[in-house]
Amino acid sequence: MSIHPERGSGNTPGHRPEHAVKAWISGFGVGVPRGATAPDPESLEAAAGALTPPLVVKAYGPGLLHKSDAGAVRLGLGSAGDAARAAAGMLASLQARGISPDGFLVEEQAEPGVEVIVGAVRDPAFGPVLLAGLGGVWTEVLRDTVLRLCPITEDDARAMLDGLRGRALLEEFRGRPAIDRDALVKVLLAVGGPDGIVAELGDRLTEFELNPVICGPSGAVAVDARLLTTDGAPASEAETGAGAHAPGNFDRLFAPRGVAVVGASTKKPNFGNMFLGFYRAAGFAGRLVAVHPTAPDIDGVPCVPSLAEAARDHDIDYALVAVPAARCPEVVRGAAGIPFVQVMSGGFREMGEPALEDDLLAAAREAGVRLLGPNCMGVYSPAGGQTFLGGAPGRPGRVALISQSGGLAGEVVKVGERRGLAFSKVATVGNSADVTPAELLAYLAGDDGTGAIGLYLEDPRDGRGLAAALRSVRSARKPVVALVGGRSGQGRRAAASHTGGMISDTRVWSALAEQTGVTLVTSQDDLIGALDLLDLHSARRAPGTNEVLVIGPSGGASVLAADVFDGAGLELAGLPAPARTALRELGLGAGSSLANPLEIPVGPRGDPGLVRRAVTAILAHRPYADVVTHVNAQSFFTFGDSAEPLLAYTRAVGALQEQLPDTRITLVMRNAECAPPGVEDAVRDLARSSGVPVYRSMEAAAVAVTAGKRSAHGTA
347 and 453 in a single domain? The answer is yes
| Rounded mean pLDDT, 203-214 | 92
498 and 605 in a single domain? The answer is no
Separation between Cα atoms, residue 226 and residue 207, nearest integer Å: 8
Q: Are 228 and 14 in contact (CB under 8 A)?
A: yes
Q: Choose among 558, 384, 531: nearest CA to 453.
A: 531
Residue 683 lies in a domain: yes
205 and 262 in a single domain? The answer is no
510 and 640 in a single domain? The answer is no
CB within 8 Å of 509: residues ≥ 6 apart? 482, 484, 487, 520
Q: Comparing 169-178, 333-342, 488-497, 685-694, which segment has the lowest mean pLDDT?
A: 488-497
194 and 256 in a single domain? The answer is no
480 and 545 in a single domain? The answer is no
Residue 90 lies in a domain: yes
Helix or strand or coil: residue 191? helix
Q: Quote the pLDDT of residue 386.
A: 97
| Strand order from edge to edge, sheet including 598-599 | 598-599, 548-552, 626-632, 664-670, 694-695
Contacts for 274-282: CB closer than 8 Å, 24+ residues apart: 275/320, 275/322, 275/344, 275/378, 275/388, 276/301, 277/390, 278/387, 278/388, 278/389, 278/390, 279/385, 279/387, 281/390, 281/391, 281/392, 282/385, 282/387, 282/391, 282/392, 282/393
CB atoms within 10 A of CB 654: 20
196 and 288 in a single domain? The answer is no
| Rounded mean pLDDT, 472-498 | 70
DSSP state for residue 690 in the 8-state scheme: T
Question: Given a cut of 70, is residue 492 above it in pLDDT?
Answer: no
Distance separating the N- and C-terminal Cα atoms of the chain: 39
| Rounded mean pLDDT, 476-499 | 66
Name the band, by pLDDT with cuts 50, 70 and 90, for residue 70: confident
Percent of the chain residues topping a pLDDT of 70: 91
| Rounded mean pLDDT, 389-403 | 96
Q: Is the dihedral of CA 175, 176, 180, 181 positive or negative?
A: negative
Residue 11 lies in a domain: no
Kindly report, residue by residue over 538-552, the tens digit of the pLDDT: 888 887 788 999 999
Q: Quote the pLDDT of residue 330.
A: 96
100 and 76 in a single domain? The answer is yes
Q: Work out how many domains the chain is built from and give that number.
A: 4
Q: Choose among 74, 135, 134: nearest CA to 107.
A: 74
Question: Given a cut of 70, is residue 11 above it in pLDDT?
Answer: no
Name the band, by pLDDT with cuts 50, 70 and 90, for residue 485: confident
Q: Quote the pLDDT of residue 144.
A: 84
| Rounded mean pLDDT, 450-454 | 97
Question: Domain containing 96: what range?
Answer: 34-108
Separation between Cα atoms, residue 523 and residue 533, nearest integer Å: 16
Q: Are 27 and 1 in contact (CB under 8 A)?
A: yes
Helix or strand or coil: residue 340? strand
Q: Choose among 590, 626, 593, 586: nearest CA to 607.
A: 586
Q: Quote the pLDDT of residue 142.
A: 65
Looking up residue 235, the CATH number of its domain turns out to be 3.30.470.20
Helix or strand or coil: residue 431? coil
Name the band, by pLDDT with cuts 50, 70 and 90, for residue 484: very high
Residue 27 lies in a domain: no
Kindly report, residue by residue over 306-360, the tens digit of the pLDDT: 999 999 877 999 999 999 999 999 999 999 999 999 999 999 999 999 999 999 9
More confident residue, 313 or 185: 185
CB within 8 Å of 577: residues ≥ 6 apart? none
**Residue that finishes a domain, picked among 488, 506, 535:** 535
Looking up residue 482, the CATH number of its domain turns out to be 3.40.50.261
Name the band, by pLDDT with cuts 50, 70 and 90, for residue 604: confident
Q: Comparing 16-25, 171-180, 692-701, which segment has the lowest mean pLDDT?
A: 171-180
CB within 8 Å of 414: residues ≥ 6 apart? 389
Backbone angles phi, psi at 396, to 5 degrees: -65, 145
Question: Given a cut of 70, is residue 592 above it in pLDDT?
Answer: no
325 and 370 in a single domain? The answer is yes
Q: Quote the pLDDT of residue 298.
A: 96
Name the band, by pLDDT with cuts 50, 70 and 90, for residue 30: very high
Residue 285 lies in a domain: yes
Residue 557 lies in a domain: yes
Q: Are 442 and 472 in contact (CB under 8 A)?
A: yes
Q: Residue 228 pairs with which residues in a beta bridge?
A: 15, 207
372 and 472 in a single domain? The answer is yes
338 and 447 in a single domain? The answer is yes
Q: Quote the pLDDT of residue 287.
A: 95
494 and 513 in a single domain? The answer is yes
Residue 1 lies in a domain: no
Question: Given a cut of 60, is residue 8 above it in pLDDT?
Answer: no
Residue 4 lies in a domain: no
Percent of the chain residues topping a pLDDT of 90: 76
- Averaged pLDDT of the chain: 89
Kindly report, residue by residue over 140-150, the tens digit of the pLDDT: 556 788 999 99
| Rounded mean pLDDT, 583-591 | 85
Backbone angles phi, psi at 669, to 5 degrees: -105, 90
CB atoms within 10 A of CB 271: 17
Separation between Cα atoms, residue 248 and residue 437, nearest integer Å: 12
More confident residue, 244 or 379: 379
- DSSP code per residue over 462-512: -HHHHHHHHHHHHHTT--EEEEESSTTT---PPPSSHHHHT--HHHHHHHH
Kindly report, residue by residue over 267-280, the tens digit of the pLDDT: 988 999 999 999 99
Q: Are 113 and 214 in contact (CB under 8 A)?
A: yes
Strands 55-60 and 73-77: antiparallel
Q: Residue 386 pairs with which residues in a beta bridge?
A: 381
Q: Quote the pLDDT of residue 20.
A: 93
User: Side chain identity at 336, as an amino acid letter?
Assistant: A
**Residue that finishes a domain, picked among 535, 551, 570:** 535
Question: Given a cut of 50, is residue 712 above it in pLDDT?
Answer: yes
| Rounded mean pLDDT, 658-669 | 96
Separation between Cα atoms, residue 184 and residue 27, nearest integer Å: 16
Separation between Cα atoms, residue 90 and residue 196, nearest integer Å: 35
Name the band, by pLDDT with cuts 50, 70 and 90, for residue 1: very low
Question: Given a cut of 70, is residue 497 above it in pLDDT?
Answer: no
**Residue that finishes a domain, picked among 221, 240, 259:** 240
Question: Given a cut of 50, is residue 62 above it in pLDDT?
Answer: yes
